[in-house]
Amino acid sequence: MKHNSRLLTIQDISCVGQCSLTVALPIISAFGTECAILPTAVLSTHTAGFKGYTCKDLTQEIPSIINHWQTENINFNLIYTGYLCGKEQINLVKDIVSKLKTKNGLFIVDPVMADHGKFYPGFDANFANEMAKLCGMAQVIIPNITEACFLTGHEYKENYDKEYIEKLLEKLGALGSEKVILTGVSFEKDKLGVAVYDTNTQETFYYFQTLIAHNFHGTGDVYSSCVAGGLSIGLSIEESSSLAVDFTVDAMKKSYDERNEHWYGVYFERSLSYLCERISAFNK
Ligand code: PXL
């Protein structure tokens, strides 16, 4: 199957860390989709566990990049955002979507800012309020449970039931997107997956895999990049979200034995051939 979508992903470059752009670019490329990038910042490493990381915020550079793309009539069928640094960047993303997204293009927001009940360094409730507005402009949002709670004001719980998740999905849907993919959902101790909510039909699709009992960094970015790739080649939200669970879990399995030495991310590279096989099965 041929397709000619051009995707723009907007997130940071963590030079070392197997997250954000260093995972999005190869994963999206594996789908055969052209992947343009807009780096929001350059960090020496990600911020989750390394001490003394450096960070150069690139906000000042973004308006002239947007202008140049406009002059060259460059636009995008799909825009996917990850780690953004502050309110000004959120406003710049709104500008990019209004100027550079094609008419029937897709806008996907992964509201990267928190996990395990806590904000990442540099993020707070004000940022979450601004991010909630950006989520309202997207067709698809991909929060984890912590981000979902910070976006909606819902109480964060580690132990929950289906009713809690479905209330959370309803509140996320009320932010304004068409679809919500809530990640890190688990109702049984050896199963982990996603809940995919359609705000129009109000139906929820669940997809689970065997839980790999370790908290890996960067799996959110691996997951969302795979969803964006799937949607870019015309897979449905159910196909894209479940393929992304299988791919992420495969990468976690292939990283498990080295989880202590290689603590900062998953070896998603080891799963790219598996991903390509799955993609070609869709293309038959
Ligand atoms: O994986 C999300 C992420 C992206 N970028 C940076 C991060 C994190 C998570 O901590 O620190 C810089």
Q: pLDDT tens digits for the chain (284 residues)?
A: 456 789 999 999 999 999 999 999 999 999 999 999 999 999 999 999 999 999 999 999 999 999 999 999 999 999 999 999 999 999 999 999 999 999 999 999 999 999 999 999 999 999 999 999 999 999 999 999 999 999 999 999 999 999 999 999 999 999 999 999 999 999 999 999 999 999 999 999 999 999 998 999 999 999 999 999 999 999 999 999 999 999 999 999 999 999 999 999 999 999 999 999 999 999 87
pLDDT at 1: 46
CA-41 nearest atom, ligand 1: 12
Contacts of 87 (CB under 8 A, 6+ apart): 126, 127, 130
pLDDT at 284: 73
Please state, in angstroms and rounded to a whole number, the distance separating the CA atoms of residues 104 and 108.
13
To test the pocket of ligand 1, the residue of 11, 120, 146 to mutate (highest count of ligand atoms within 8 Å of its CB) is 120
CA-55 nearest atom, ligand 1: 12
Q: Is residue 34 within 8 Å of 3, Cβ to Cβ?
A: no
E strand segments, 17-100: 34-45, 55-57, 76-81
Residue closest to 251 by CA, chosen among 283, 282, 228, 217: 217
State which amino acid sits at residue 118.
Answer: K
Residue owning the nearest CA to atom 6 of ligand 1: 46
Residue owning the nearest CA to atom 1 of ligand 1: 218
| Distances 27 to 111, 112, 134 between C-alpha atoms, Å | 19, 18, 24
Q: Which CATH number fits domain 6-283: 3.40.1190.20, 3.30.70.260, 3.40.190.80, 3.30.420.10?
A: 3.40.1190.20
Residue owning the nearest CA to atom 7 of ligand 1: 46
Q: Mutual orientation of helices 87-100 and 62-71 as an angle, nearest 10°? A: 0
Q: Which residues line ligand 1 (CB under 6 A)?
A: 12, 14, 19-20, 43, 46-48, 83, 112, 120, 218, 220-221
CA angle 235, 101, 21 (to 5 degrees): 70
Q: Take residue 50 and report the two structure tokens written for it.
A: 């390394």
Domain-wise residue ranges, the chain: 6-283
